[in-house]
């Protein structure tokens, strides 16, 4: 490791460390504009000049471009280096508009900081300034090109790192322009990161523009709960409204960046453009009441039905968007009262698939996003990263930039910001396809070394997957690439895949790890806290299907729903509506203006993540805590401002964390008995599962620790026979899958008014050959027949979709719940043109 001296202080750093990084480790911040930790050096701004006094380099050099070496003596304060940096600032400021008082970047501007620190305070140039025309870049970002200092951060991130091409550098020399070839909405789902990256005010956050200065914001470390990745964020609030969400550095999870759904999907917490959507008052029998009255009403209803029919008639429903504190509180309350065990997942299949990821994928081979970035081969099965978890696509792109081949086995017309191989297999063939690829990359002798179970699993794998010659050749080529890899990653989804696929993919990853210790498994889960829910669910846990059957049979007569909306998420809405009408008592705790909340007999408003904080366990089993950023209430933004009068409470602020609301109900149910430990939420979690005993009074809130990161558990390599099924002939029937889109399907962002202009109208996606055989064309309006009624929407034809499959988004504007089943079969002959 090289040892060098910077400003009379010695330091030893790993080989390949730049001098600018070595200085930062000593706490010496060398000025910079183009250099960024996540993107490395480019040497464009010339601002990081330092003086090399001894060593292989001499004189003024750029510290971001030179690796630290033995014997170097570096000065950041040498007169020559300081004068050089002062000149750089002066020529960067020649054309700057000096509009700091009206610039949203003011107060958080790197250009301001460097200008002041360099001592540049008076202007010597009085000529005409260079000016540009600003562009419309869409609903997220405001463009002020006159503030640009040509650091190239935006173009490098947008094109090289994010992989999109519609924004970049144009013209030459002093006229270089960063923007699009024409006005229009930026295409990248990571475009909001330009705001965080830009060292000046060229790109500013449009939704929060002109609303607040940074020093007036309430800020706290938070988490994104729009998918299971658990990206780290910083939440910013002002006047009882969340105004902005930024990326927060976590090297193992999301690095520096976040996706736009996580950045702009926060407005559900504010309640819409005029803040009238979010339910803020407790209700009982359709009347607004005090919090205490609502909690007592809920307890009285539950007590009466339990006394009359027994406690086992009370059902409970939670969701994977709730914090771990809330999941454990609901489970504890259910067990204390003798109620039914909570259900967290919509279907038994979703519960089983999530459980398989937790039980089979909790070994050392589970990859973080940063681990995925380091993979030299990425094989994804049953995932559509951009639509399901955009930051997964971003990190797959980083692996691709490091020369890793990327292969996706999925029936959907997947789009990724990189060159990749798409094997359009149907979900029924996922395991056969993956099995043939893995068998082609692992020898039988290698499997034998892992034991008899591994050998049985290996022998059961198909030797080939070739439903047609072209597909067979691509599978063989993929197996050859996997064979040549040393640190491959298997990525598996839990949405369109069959029940057994996640467990099979985890087994395949362990088999690969036998000969490739650096290989790993990466699984997506159906919700921010799906890992915690699956952990509590255990083997054979309940789902909404079990709750529904209990209501229909009369064994469930009262239902307590916590931060869940079965009317939106369950695939048979009419059946659910009929079941709710049969309930004697329907009690709901939530913060969304859902149909479930509207129909409640008793309703208690809960606090959002921004108001209550909470613990979440992401898809890799990593425990993370989000701090509350503000108390919340009716925002002072918008047209309908609350009265300016002195009160003893915050208007619209009568909400509590869901687990605290459950504690109030528990206290009303058992005024002198055992209740929930409100003052010790760590104990609430530690006592609910043996793997949660990591929580203690002295370490709560806990952050960053991974659950059960030990050896793979027993029960791996459950061998199963394979019988690859032939493709469904075109022109007959197709299996219809409901899928996620980037916008319009995910629950929380669907209530965010900010993202609504980017929500596309729902459409039916069909394979091109299937559509041609049925006499249908792209862009035609069609009527899709269902068991009861039909759906009318536009047809989107794609040659990249797998034959025999069709796809509908679980779109808020579409009554997809009328399908009644998760993946029904429909006849192409019955699809009519309108």
Cβ-based burial of 530 (10 A; exposed 0-12, middle 13-18, buried ≥19): buried
**pLDDT tens per residue across span 505-544:** 999 999 999 889 999 999 999 999 999 999 998 866 799 9
Contact 407, 478 (CB under 8 A): yes
Cβ-based burial of 47 (10 A; exposed 0-12, middle 13-18, buried ≥19): buried
* Cα–Cα distance, 50 to 30 (Å, whole number): 8
* Average pLDDT rounded to a whole number, residues 92-121: 91
Which pLDDT score is estimated for 642?
A: 59
> Which residues are CB-neighbours of 129 under 8 A, at least 6 positions away?
94, 95, 96, 97, 146
Which one has a higher pLDDT value, 724 or 566? 566
93 torsion bin: left (phi>0), alpha (psi -120 to 50), beta (else): alpha
For the ranges 247-256, 452-461, 623-632, 666-675, which has the lowest average pLDDT? 666-675
* Cα–Cα distance, 599 to 584 (Å, whole number): 12
Closest CA to 770 of 737, 744, 736, 733: 733
* Cα–Cα distance, 450 to 448 (Å, whole number): 5
Which one has a higher pLDDT value, 127 or 202? 202
**Would strands 241-247 and 232-238 be described as parallel, antiparallel, or unpaired?**
antiparallel
To which residue do tokens 């490091």 refer?
402
Which pLDDT score is estimated for 205?
A: 96
* Cα–Cα distance, 231 to 256 (Å, whole number): 9
**pLDDT tens per residue across span 19-29:** 999 999 999 99
* Average pLDDT rounded to a whole number, residues 546-574: 96
Helices 501-513 and 348-360 pack at an angle, to 10 degrees, of 10
Among 318-322, 468-472, 697-701, the range with the most confident prediction by mean pLDDT is 318-322
**pLDDT tens per residue across span 392-432:** 999 999 999 999 999 999 999 999 999 999 999 999 999 99
pLDDT class of 715 with cuts at 50, 70, 90:
low
Give the whole-number percent of the chain exceeding pLDDT 70: 95
Which pLDDT score is estimated for 730?
A: 47
* Average pLDDT rounded to a whole number, residues 797-804: 96
Contact 560, 587 (CB under 8 A): yes
* Cα–Cα distance, 278 to 399 (Å, whole number): 41
Q: Give the gyration radius of the chain's Cα atoms.
A: 29
Mean pLDDT, all residues of the chain: 92
Contact 82, 31 (CB under 8 A): no
632 torsion bin: left (phi>0), alpha (psi -120 to 50), beta (else): left
- Map residue 281 onto helix, strand or coil: coil
> Which residues are CB-neighbours of 472 under 8 A, at least 6 positions away?
464, 465, 466
Which pLDDT score is estimated for 5?
A: 96
CA separation (Å) from 243 to 12, 31, 203, 526? 43, 30, 17, 27
pLDDT class of 789 with cuts at 50, 70, 90:
confident
Which pLDDT score is estimated for 96?
A: 93
Which pLDDT score is estimated for 419?
A: 97
Listing DSSP states for 672-696 in one string gives TS----TT-HHHHHHTT-GGGTT--
* Cα–Cα distance, 95 to 404 (Å, whole number): 43
* Cα–Cα distance, 535 to 310 (Å, whole number): 28
**pLDDT tens per residue across span 751-765:** 999 999 999 999 999
**pLDDT tens per residue across span 481-505:** 999 999 999 999 999 999 999 999 9
* Cα–Cα distance, 371 to 620 (Å, whole number): 11
Order across the sheet with 790-798: list the strands. Answer: 825-827, 733-739, 805-809, 763-767, 790-798, 781-785, 832-833
Neighbouring CB atoms inside 10 A of 398's CB total 21
Contact 524, 388 (CB under 8 A): yes
* Cα–Cα distance, 822 to 738 (Å, whole number): 7
Contact 54, 61 (CB under 8 A): no
Long-range pairs for 675-682 at CB < 8 Å and ≥24 separation? Answer: 675/336, 676/329, 676/332, 676/333, 681/325
**Would strands 283-284 and 287-288 be described as parallel, antiparallel, or unpaired?**
antiparallel
Query: What's CA 178's distance to the chain center, in Å?
Result: 29
Helix (H) or strand (E) holding 523: strand 520-523
Contact 685, 695 (CB under 8 A): yes
For the ranges 103-117, 264-278, 455-469, which has the lowest average pLDDT? 264-278
Say yes or no to pLDDT of 202 above 70.
Answer: yes
């Amino acid at each position: 490791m090289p040892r060098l001296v910077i400003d009379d202080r010695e330091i030893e750093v790993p080989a390949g460390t730049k001098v600018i990084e070595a200085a930062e480790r000593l706490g010496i911040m060398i000025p910079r504009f183009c250099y960024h930790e996540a993107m490395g050096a480019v040497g464009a701004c010339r601002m990081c000049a330092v003086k090399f006094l001894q060593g292989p380099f001499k004189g003024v050099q750029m510290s971001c471009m030179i690796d630290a070496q033995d014997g170097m003596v570096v000065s950041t304060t040498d007169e020559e280096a300081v004068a050089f940096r002062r000149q750089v600032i002066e020529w960067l400021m020649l054309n700057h508009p000096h509009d700091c008082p009206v610039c949203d970047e003011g107060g958080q501007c790197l250009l301001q900081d460097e200008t002041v620190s360099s001592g540049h305070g008076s202007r010597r140039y009085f000529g005409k300034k260079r000016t540009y025309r600003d562009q419309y870049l869409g609903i997220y970002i405001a463009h002020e090109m006159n503030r640009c200092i040509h650091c190239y951060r935006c173009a490098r991130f947008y094109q090289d790192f994010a992989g999109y091409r519609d924004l970049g550098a144009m013209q030459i020399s002093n006229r270089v322009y960063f923007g699009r070839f024409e006005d229009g909405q930026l295409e990248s789902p990571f475009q909001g990161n330009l705001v965080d990256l830009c060292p000046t005010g060229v790109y500013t956050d449009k939704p929060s523009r002109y609303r607040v200065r940074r020093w007036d914001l309430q800020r706290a470390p938070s988490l994104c709960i729009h998918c299971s990745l658990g990206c780290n964020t910083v939440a910013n609030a002002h006047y009882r409204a969340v105004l902005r969400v930024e990326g927060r550095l976590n090297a193992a999870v999301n690095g520096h960046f976040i996706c736009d759904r996580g950045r702009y999907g926060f407005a559900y917490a504010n309640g819409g453009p005029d803040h009238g959507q979010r339910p803020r008052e407790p209700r009982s029998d359709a009347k607004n009441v005090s919090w205490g009255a609502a909690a007592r009403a809920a307890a009285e209803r539950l007590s009466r039905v339990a006394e009359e029919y027994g406690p086992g008639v009370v059902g409970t429903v939670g969701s994977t968007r709730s914090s771990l504190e809330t999941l454990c509180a609901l489970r504890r309350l259910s067990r204390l009262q003798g109620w039914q065990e909570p259900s967290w997942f919509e279907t038994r299949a979703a519960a089983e698939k999530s459980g398989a990821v937790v039980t089979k994928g909790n070994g050392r081979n589970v990859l973080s996003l940063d681990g995925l970035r380091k993979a030299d081969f990425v094989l994804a099965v049953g995932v559509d990263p951009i639509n399901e978890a955009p930051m997964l696509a971003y990190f797959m792109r980083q692996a691709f930039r490091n020369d890793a081949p990327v292969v996706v086995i999925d029936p959907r017309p997947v789009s990724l910001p990189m060159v990749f191989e798409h094997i359009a297999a149907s979900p029924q063939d996922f395991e056969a396809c993956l099995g043939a690829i893995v068998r082609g990359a692992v020898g039988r002798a290698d499997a034998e070394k892992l034991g008899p179970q591994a050998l049985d699993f290996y022998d059961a794998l198909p030797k080939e997957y070739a439903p047609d010659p072209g597909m067979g050749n691509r599978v063989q080529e993929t197996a050859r690439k996997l064979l040549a890899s040393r640190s491959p990653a298997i990525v598996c989804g839990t949405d369109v895949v069959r029940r057994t696929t996640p467990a099979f993919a985890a087994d395949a990853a362990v088999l690969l790890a036998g000969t490739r210790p650096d290989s790993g498994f990466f699984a997506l889960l159906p919700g921010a806290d799906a890992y915690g829910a699956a952990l509590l669910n255990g083997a054979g846990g309940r789902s909404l299907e079990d709750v529904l059957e209990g209501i229909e049979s009369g064994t469930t007569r009262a239902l307590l729903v916590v931060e869940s909306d079965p009317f939106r998420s369950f695939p048979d809405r009419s059946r659910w509506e009929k079941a709710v009408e049969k309930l004697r008592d329907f009690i709901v705790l939530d913060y969304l203006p859902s149909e479930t909340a509207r129909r409640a007999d008793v309703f208690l408003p809960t606090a959002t993540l921004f108001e209550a904080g909470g613990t979440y366990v992401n898809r890799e089993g990593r425990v993370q805590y989000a701090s509350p950023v503000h108390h919340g209430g009716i925002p002072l933004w918008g047209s309908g401002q609350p009265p300016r009068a002195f009160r003893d409470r915050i208007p619209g602020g009568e909400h509590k964390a869901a687990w605290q609301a459950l504690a109030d109900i528990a206290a009303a149910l058992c005024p002198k008995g055992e209740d929930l430990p409100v003052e010790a939420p760590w104990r609430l979690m530690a006592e609910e599962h043996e793997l949660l005993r990591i929580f203690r009074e002295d370490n709560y809130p806990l952050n960053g620790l991974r659950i059960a990161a030990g050896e793979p558990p027993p029960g791996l390599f459950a061998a199963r026979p394979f019988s690859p099924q032939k493709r469904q002939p075109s022109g007959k029937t197709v299996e219809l899958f409901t899928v996620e889109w980037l916008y319009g399907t995910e629950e929380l962002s669907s209530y965010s008014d900010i993202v609504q202009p980017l929500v596309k109208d729902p459409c039916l996606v069909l394979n091109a050959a299937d559509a041609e055989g049925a006499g249908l064309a792209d862009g035609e309006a069609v009527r899709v027949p269902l068991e009861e009624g039909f759906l009318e929407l536009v047809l989107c034809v794609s040659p990249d979709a797998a034959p025999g499959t069709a796809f509908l988004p679980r779109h808020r504007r579409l009554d997809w719940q009328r399908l009644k089943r998760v993946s029904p079969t429909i006849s192409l002959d019955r699809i009519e043109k309108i």
